[in-house]
Structure 1
């Protein structure tokens, strides 16, 4: 069986590693970026404890490498921007092990290293054809402008992200659901004076800062605030003065953590990446089962709870387990989609404080037994076998 993986991101790389060397499977990986390029190389992310559990159960070598190269996510604190505490959660109260904090570029390096010989770099998917046997033939554009074909594949896997070309070609462009929130992110280098370490959130009304340190003396900072419409982010909102006003307490001074971030936002305003919070309908497969979608290609979702990349980890290792035992796209969907429905629903629920719910009451509910039990299910319910 020939399997072609489009995209060597989180899900694609883990799937490839799980399949390479399996008798009866011929696996190729096609990556749009040229050698040495890494999308979002300048930012960071947190992976939830369920991603680490999935790796520990299904790919212990990658689990060990990731632990070695990252910082642990042990605590989740939430405060108001004046420093009023709302939540301080020890992650081991709800998970089997901590999550991690890492740079995207380092995560890509770790995941791609074991599959490097199988990756064809500089291959941007442009079109699909069929061969005489009815197999899909991907057509790629290479850096020199030429078209490249590498034959027909029994299964093509889209691990090519939120704007998946494979999904668009086989099932059409997915509609985006706008949630009325602007989100931005930046990485503060040389952050040796940062007054906090682990994962934290700070609220001023519906406006939220989220930040944590990552390896290499850097701090990842992200902001979210209500913004109607669906077009480009207004120029006024992308100014240091506008952002400072969003997160400055109405009464009193900002806490030391918020004051530090506000100064870094002002100094690095030109380095911020701006976007709108949105999600897309879930689609696991297309082209009569000849195309399988993983990660953001299947399930672009809200970033709350850090489950975007985390679910891509689960997708990659569990889809590999299914395909190794002779299953196909339908079997991957049967395993993954019920779990994904739960994760998306909980992520939406946890987004209430940026979608209009009072952050004080909304956050305090997250420290109560019903929500903590939902977190335990999120972080612990990873299957050990398929």
Structure 2
């Protein structure tokens, strides 16, 4: 099966979907409203399921070569005491891969490099999809339209196409948290590949990249729309008494590099990921909180599953039905688990609740954290009868 596909959104999920669709024999156009596909963003952790999806799509080797395995780390209290330690080697034995850290820009570039430049249309804002012809939907842009046999809505948490397809859905909701993040301006030595520190209504974490720089993030309980005149200065004061290397990571950051976003999610699950020949993917389908590090991994799973379904099913209708049946239950389960993890982790603010959580973490068996990661990261790509690059 093959045809013309339009992917709306040039982020990680959209580019991955385009790579998979091309391998399944489809002609693909990726439409991105930004004037350039800039390599922006901070860092990302990829679990085994995300790496397996990238292997399936043929770009795993390039991503692994640019990433840094996360073997040492865990969760700490603000004064530095370890609550849990992650055994990256045990995770590798269980899943065949440790978690890896990579700049989002590098992952984005690896996916974009796997596509011919002519299939990328930037600076084009999609207004809606005209589905008057059930077999040839039309993606309407500013002043023109693109006909296709399939439309992939990968246009993010604020998906305009999702709002059109499900007008009664409430859309994304504020999670109760806001996140600030950046990559250090030079290499640092935080003494562990990654770490999370949980305080009262606050979290600080870091991952180290292959070039020695580190990405850090600070998550704070806050109402939507809160912004700071001096974000970096605010964080330096907020975390001044927290353990090393947190002050050092902030000191190694340029003020202009700090990104600030509210954390939003689709609390109300969608009733379907497909409507006719339009399919939702990534944050457009199942935006989740970052507490399990699974947002991008689930989008990569979506892309691999969609490509395999379109390659293996006799019709577009049966392929999209298979995609919905395989992806909606799993991704929505992971989204619920991420929400629970946030409520029991960073979002806890009452001193008694925080103390009880910390005690439970200290008393947990050494393998409990590995099993918790495996629960969501142990995913096997669908079968696809064609050579796949390792």
Does 1:113 pair with 2:101?
A: no
Contact 2:86–2:369 (CA under 8 A) maintained in structure 1: no
**1:75-129 deviations in whole A, cap 9, x for unaligned?**
3411122221111111342432112211111111100112123222222212333
Contact 1:178–1:279 (CA under 8 A) maintained in structure 2: yes
Query: Could you tell me how far apart the structure 1 residues matched to 2:364 and 2:256 are?
Result: 34
Contact 1:31–1:123 (CA under 8 A) maintained in structure 2: yes
Does 1:257 pair with 2:245?
A: yes
Change in 2 beyond 3 A, CA 1:34/1:269: closer
Partner of 1:379: 377
Partner of 2:226: 233
Contact 1:285–1:330 (CA under 8 A) maintained in structure 2: no
Query: Could you tell me how far apart the structure 1 residues matched to 2:271 and 2:307 are?
Result: 15
* 3-state SS of 2:294 partner: helix
Partner of 1:177: 173
| Offset of residue 292 of structure 1 | 0.6
Change in 2 beyond 3 A, CA 1:293/1:119: same
Within 5 A, what are the aligned runs for 1:56-135?
Answer: 56=55, 58-59=56-57, 61-94=58-91, 95-116=95-116, 117-130=118-131, 135=136
Find 1:20's aligned residue among 19, 22, 25: 22
| Offset of residue 302 of structure 1 | 0.4
Partner of 1:271: 257
Bigger CA drift: 341-350 or 297-306?
341-350
TM-score in terms of structure 2 length: 0.84
| Offset of residue 132 of structure 1 | 5.1
Change in 2 beyond 3 A, CA 1:349/1:54: same
Contact 2:13–2:281 (CA under 8 A) maintained in structure 1: yes
Query: Could you tell me how far apart the structure 2 residues matched to 1:81 and 1:385 are?
Result: 45
* 3-state SS of 1:50 partner: helix
Query: Could you tell me how far apart the structure 1 residues matched to 2:290 and 2:237 are?
Result: 24
Within 5 A, what are the aligned runs for 1:1-386?
Answer: 1-20=3-22, 22-23=24-25, 25-38=26-39, 41-56=40-55, 58-59=56-57, 61-94=58-91, 95-116=95-116, 117-130=118-131, 135-141=136-142, 147-151=143-147, 153-172=148-167, 174-190=170-186, 192-227=187-222, 229-230=223-224, 232-235=225-228, 238=231, 240=233, 242-249=234-241, 254-264=242-252, 268-280=254-266, 281-283=268-270, 285=272, 288-326=275-313, 327-351=318-342, 352-356=344-348, 357-358=353-354, 360-361=358-359, 363-364=361-362, 372-385=370-383
| Offset of residue 362 of structure 1 | 5.4
Moved >6 Å (runs of 4+)? none
Query: Could you tell me how far apart the structure 2 residues matched to 1:132 and 1:288 are?
Result: 13
**1:225-267 deviations in whole A, cap 9, x for unaligned?**
222x33x215478462x43443344xxxx43312313434xx6
Contact 1:285–1:292 (CA under 8 A) maintained in structure 2: no
CA RMSD of aligned residues (A): 2.7
TM-score in terms of structure 1 length: 0.84
- Unpaired runs of at least 5, structure 2: 385-390
Contact 1:178–1:277 (CA under 8 A) maintained in structure 2: yes
* 3-state SS of 1:354 partner: coil
**1:61-84 deviations in whole A, cap 9, x for unaligned?**
311010111212233411122221
* 3-state SS of 1:224 partner: strand
Query: Could you tell me how far apart the structure 2 residues matched to 1:309 and 1:174 are?
Result: 23
Change in 2 beyond 3 A, CA 1:200/1:366: farther
Change in 2 beyond 3 A, CA 1:338/1:136: same
Partner of 1:144: none
